[in-house]
C-alpha cells in the first residue's frame, strides 16, 4: 500500500498539467489522485485520463464529489486569483491544505530556498508568482549580507508561455510580487515588472534583479548570491546566472538616492538570470512555468512530510 500523500490539481491549463506530470515523474512523496478543470476538451484533462488520473470538468464542485477525493490531503490551485477565493473557501472547509499557484495571496508567501519551513502548519500557502520564485531568492541573498533599501525585478517571459490565466492576472502579478519582495526577500520597498516578449522563436525566461544598498562587502554579496543560485538549481536545474553580479555607484542625480539613509554611499547591485524549463509538458523556453510548478512541488512535499510527522506523534 502506498504511503505517499495524495494530492489533486485544480486547473487543466499549462501550469496545472505541467504540475501533474511533475508529481507523476519526480515525486517520491506525493501521488496524484485527481485533476479538475472546466473545459471538457482541454488537453490537460485528456492527458490526465490517458495517465489513469481521475478527472472532472466541473471544477472544484466536481472534484469534491469524486471518490478519489476522499484520500486527498493537499490540493494545488492552478487557476486564477479570482477563482481561488472560492476554491480556498470550499477546500479549507473540507480540511484540505491548499497550495495556491495564483497571485491571490490569501495565505502566506512561500519561496522554497528562503522560507520553505516557515508555514508548515498553514492551511493555505501562496507561491507568489513565476517572477517572484525566480527573483526573490536573489533579493534575500543580498539582504542576508546587507540591508536592501529597494528591490526591483523585471521578469521577461515568452508570450507563448503566458496562457489566459497569466494574462488575466497581470495586475495581481505585479502587486503580489512586489509585496513578496519585501515580506520574503527582505527589501524595505519592492517593485515588480513583467514583460511578455513576442519574439520568434520564443526566448527563454530572463529575470533582472536590482537591489539598492549602502556600500557593502561586494565579495560577500557575490558569494551569497552564488550560493542561493545553487540552492534553486537543486530543484530547477535550468536556473542560472547570465553573468557575474554587477555593482554600480548610484549617481548624485539619481532619485533612488533618496531611499538610502543620509550619509550612506548608495550602491546598486544587479543580477541577471536565465530560467530554462525542464520541458516536462511545455518547451524549454517556458522556464516561468517550470520554476513555478517546481517550487509548488517542493513546497507540497515539505507540507506532506510535516503532516505525516505530526500524525505519528
Is 163 marked as binding a ligand?
A: yes
Is 85 marked as binding a ligand?
A: no
Is 165 marked as binding a ligand?
A: yes
Kindly tell me the burial class for residue 241, based on how many C-beta atoms sit within 10 Å of its own C-beta (0-12, 13-18, 19 or more). middle
Radius of gyration of the chain (CA): 20
Is 81 marked as binding a ligand?
A: no
Name the phi and psi angles at 272, rounded to 5.
Answer: -115, 125
Is 161 marked as binding a ligand?
A: yes
Is 12 marked as binding a ligand?
A: yes
Cβ burial 151-190 (10 Å sphere, 16+ → b, else e):
bbbbbbbbebbbeebbeebeebbbbbbbbbbbbbbbbeeb
Is 164 marked as binding a ligand?
A: yes
Is 13 marked as binding a ligand?
A: yes
The Cβ of residue 296 has, within 10 Å, a number of other Cβ atoms equal to: 27
Is 251 marked as binding a ligand?
A: no
CA distances from 178 to 50, 67, 71, 141, 255 (A): 40, 40, 36, 17, 19
Is 14 marked as binding a ligand?
A: yes
130 as an active site residue: the answer is yes
Active-site position among 48, 130, 221, 300: 130
* CA atoms 124, 125, 131, 132: torsion sign: positive
In whole angstroms, what is the distance from residue 212 CA to residue 272 CA?
Answer: 15
Asked if residue 101 lies in contact with residue 293, where contact means CB atoms within 8 angstroms, the answer is yes
Residues 6+ apart with CB under 8 A from 58: 36, 38
Query: What is the bridge-based pairing of β-strands 5-10 and 30-36?
Result: parallel
In whole angstroms, what is the distance from residue 281 CA to residue 178 CA?
Answer: 29
In whole angstroms, what is the distance from residue 28 CA to residue 181 CA?
Answer: 31
Find cell 527589501 and name the residue. Answer: 187
Residues 6+ apart with CB under 8 A from 89: none
Is 147 marked as binding a ligand?
A: no
Q: Catalogue the active-site residues.
A: 130
Q: Which residues are annotated as a binding site?
A: 12-15, 161-169, 288
Q: Which residues are annotated as a binding site for NAD(+)?
A: 12-15, 161-169, 288
Amino acid at each position: 500500500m502506498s504511503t505517499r500523500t495524495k494530492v489533486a490539481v485544480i486547473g487543466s491549463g499549462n501550469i496545472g498539467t505541467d504540475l501533474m506530470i511533475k508529481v507523476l515523474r519526480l515525486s517520491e512523496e506525493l501521488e496524484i489522485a485527481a485533476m479538475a478543470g472546466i473545459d471538457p476538451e482541454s488537453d490537460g484533462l485528456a492527458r490526465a485520463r490517458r495517465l489513469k488520473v481521475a478527472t472532472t470538468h466541473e471544477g472544484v464542485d466536481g472534484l469534491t464529489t469524486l471518490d478519489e477525493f476522499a484520500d486527498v490531503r493537499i490540493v494545488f490551485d492552478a487557476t486564477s486569483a479570482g477563482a481561488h477565493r472560492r476554491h480556498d473557501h470550499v477546500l479549507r472547509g473540507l480540511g484540505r491544505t491548499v497550495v495556491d499557484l495564483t497571485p491571490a495571496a490569501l495565505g502566506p508567501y512561500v519561496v522554497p530556498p528562503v522560507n520553505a519551513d516557515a508555514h508548515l502548519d498553514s492551511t493555505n500557502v501562496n507561491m507568489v508568482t513565476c517572477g517572484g520564485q525566480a527573483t526573490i531568492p536573489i533579493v534575500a541573498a543580498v539582504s542576508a549580507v546587507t540591508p536592501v533599501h529597494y528591490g526591483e525585478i523585471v521578469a521577461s517571459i515568452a508570450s507563448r508561455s503566458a496562457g489566459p490565466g497569466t494574462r488575466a492576472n497581470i495586475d495581481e502579478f505585479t502587486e503580489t510580487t512586489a509585496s513578496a519582495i519585501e515580506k520574503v526577500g527582505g527589501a524595505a520597498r519592492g517593485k515588480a515588472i513583467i514583460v511578455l516578449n513576442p519574439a520568434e522563436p520564443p526566448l527563454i525566461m530572463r529575470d533582472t534583479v536590482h537591489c539598492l544598498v549602502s556600500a557593502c562587502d561586494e565579495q560577500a554579496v557575490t558569494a551569497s548570491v552564488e550560493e542561493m543560485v545553487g540552492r534553486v538549481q537543486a530543484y530547477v536545474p535550468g536556473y542560472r546566472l547570465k553573468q557575474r553580479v554587477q555593482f554600480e555607484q548610484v549617481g548624485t542625480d539619481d532619485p533612488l538616492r533618496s531611499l538610502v539613509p543620509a550619509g550612506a554611499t548608495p550602491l546598486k547591485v544587479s543580477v541577471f538570470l536565465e530560467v530554462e524549463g525542464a520541458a516536462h509538458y511545455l518547451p524549454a523556453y517556458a522556464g516561468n512555468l517550470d520554476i513555478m510548478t517546481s517550487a509548488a512541488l517542493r513546497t507540497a512535499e515539505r507540507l506532506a512530510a510535516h503532516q505525516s510527522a505530526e500524525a505519528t506523534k
